[in-house]
Amino acid sequence: MNVLAILKDFTSRCKSVFENTTTKMSKRFLNWLILTIRTVALIPGKVNFTRLSRYGGRTAKTFASNFKSAVGWINVNIGIARENFGNARDDIAIAIDPSFISKAGRLTYGMGRFWSGVAQRVKRGLEIMAIGAISLSRHACVMLGAIQSPNFKTLESEQNMSMLDWYISLVKSKAAELLSLTGILVADAFFSKYKFVNEVVAMGFRFVGRLRANSYLRYLAIPDPSAPRRRGRKKTYGEKVDFADLDMSVFTSFIYKDSKGVGTQCHTAVVNSRALKRNIRIVICPVEGGEPLLYFSTDTEMKPERIIGFYRTRFQIEFGIRDAKQFTGLQSQQTRDKDRLDFAFNLSFTTLNVCKEVIRKDCPDLSVAQFKRLMFESYLASTIISTYGKSPHLKIIQKINHRLAQLAA
């Protein structure tokens, strides 16, 4: 592997990503954006304006002013998703997941108290809604973008909205772009509420989620042709579903094999959910010594194996958020401005996508951490060679020592 060629290959791959998108931007801004993505990919440690200036060859003020620009990040990343996953719409689903971002200070836009899944408690900081595209067959995720959530108190007082209302409006604002990729939406059990499910189904999505183990489900009434005709409305629903004693004349059993090849006997049927006020396909997966897992889809024709597969593959978005926090600066923004924060969050996800794309095509044996290290070593070698030139002497050696000391600081 040619270390010196890594930076050049990364830059050309990044250019091809933007050539395959419908997002319009000037050539000057595109060149700066590609430079910025490359710089984020090679920076070791935190990513902020000071460090971008040190490694990117532009002033911190240049980076700060350009971070105010608007970019169609979702369209850019949908192009990456299509290149990764192909155009098989039924193999792809949109996954959404709110994520806590730690941030100090009081004047940053959106500062408030949000739930942190890592700490398992409410903490002071920021929250973003991460949007990703997951592939059932590849068991992978491409991050499509992030939208910052406003402070709950501000949202309630100024817009008279709850957080759930905000999440609905967020999905609605991006529905046209997301539906161009796939019509399946996956989210965790928090979003399995009537208001959210009803709204996203009205937008054109088929929703896949999970229900609580004490959910009130009821069988659909099966008309008896031999029964005498009576006056009044016909019965619509049957008895409540008892998860400990399923009616196997309604439920169908099947064996679901996970990615490790372990088989589990699951049961599926079309039932009515009283909370969601609609018929759903439910998939019940027993858990030894615990309550059963209840997966569902608003598409009653969806195969039960796909319902389980989509919901479990949804967890890949968690890995995308984790990698962006660790390697591409999702949690180290040096700004308090709303637009710059939005740019920084989405830049982090897009850089991660490009890194994984290069890894997938050129060096599949490397992890993201190893690839970043290789990018930095390539940058370091290129800096030394470009500074020394063909005939090095004492002054140039002193210059390179000073430059390396700056990079190591």
- Dist CA 392 CA 199 (whole Å): 67
Do residues 219 and 246 make contact, with C-beta atoms less than 8 angstroms apart?
no
Are residue 91 and residue 153 in the same domain, yes or no?
Answer: yes
Are residue 261 and residue 323 in the same domain, yes or no?
Answer: no
187-215 residue pLDDT tens: 999 999 999 999 999 999 999 999 999 99
208-263 residue pLDDT tens: 999 999 999 999 987 666 666 777 667 788 889 999 899 999 999 999 988 778 88
Single residue among 247, 275, 300 that ends a domain in this structure: 300
Our count of domains for the chain comes to: 2
Considering the domain boundaries, does residue 111 fall inside one? yes
pLDDT for 224: 62
Q: Side-chain half-sphere of 392: how many Cα atoms within 13 Å?
A: 13
Which of 82-91, 172-181, 272-281, 337-346 is predicted least confidently?
A: 82-91
Are residue 340 and residue 288 in the same domain, yes or no?
Answer: no
- The distance between the two most distant Cα atoms of the chain, rounded to a whole number of Å, is 106
Q: What is the dihedral of CA 119, 120, 121, 126, to 10 degrees?
A: 60
- Dist CA 185 CA 95 (whole Å): 6
- Dist CA 99 CA 130 (whole Å): 7
**Could you tell me where the beta strands, DSSP code E, fall in 241-334?**
252-257, 263-273, 278-285, 293-297
The neighbouring-strand residues paired with 125 are: 112
Are residue 69 and residue 181 in the same domain, yes or no?
Answer: yes
- Written as six digits, the tokens of 242 are 């008892």
Are residue 240 and residue 169 in the same domain, yes or no?
Answer: no
Are residue 32 and residue 70 in the same domain, yes or no?
Answer: yes
pLDDT for 385: 73
Are residue 173 and residue 284 in the same domain, yes or no?
Answer: no
Task: State the residue range of the domain holding 272.
Answer: 213-224+233-300
Question: Per-residue confidence at 87, pLDDT binned at 50, 70, 90?
Answer: confident
Considering the domain boundaries, does residue 176 fall inside one? yes
Question: Per-residue confidence at 402, pLDDT binned at 50, 70, 90?
Answer: low
Are residue 327 and residue 355 in the same domain, yes or no?
Answer: yes
Considering the domain boundaries, does residue 405 fall inside one? no
Are residue 141 and residue 267 in the same domain, yes or no?
Answer: no
**Single pTM value for the model:** 0.89
Give φ, ψ of 203 to 5 degrees: -75, -20
Compute the radius of gyration of the chain from its Cα atoms: 25
Are residue 167 and residue 251 in the same domain, yes or no?
Answer: no
Could you tell me how far CA 247 lies from the centroid of its own chain?
A: 38
Three-state secondary-structure class, residue 368 = helix
Three-state secondary-structure class, residue 148 = strand
Are residue 105 and residue 219 in the same domain, yes or no?
Answer: no
Considering the domain boundaries, does residue 408 fall inside one? no
Considering the domain boundaries, does residue 397 fall inside one? no
Question: Per-residue confidence at 330, pLDDT binned at 50, 70, 90?
Answer: very high
Q: Which is it for the CA torsion 66, 69, 75, 77, positive or negative?
A: positive
pLDDT for 394: 63
Are residue 262 and residue 344 in the same domain, yes or no?
Answer: no
Considering the domain boundaries, does residue 202 fall inside one? no
Single residue among 257, 276, 300 that ends a domain in this structure: 300
403, with CB counted inside 10 A (0-12, 13-18, 19+), is middle
Single residue among 246, 277, 300 that ends a domain in this structure: 300
- Dist CA 86 CA 84 (whole Å): 6
144-183 residue pLDDT tens: 999 999 988 888 888 888 999 999 999 999 999 999 999 9
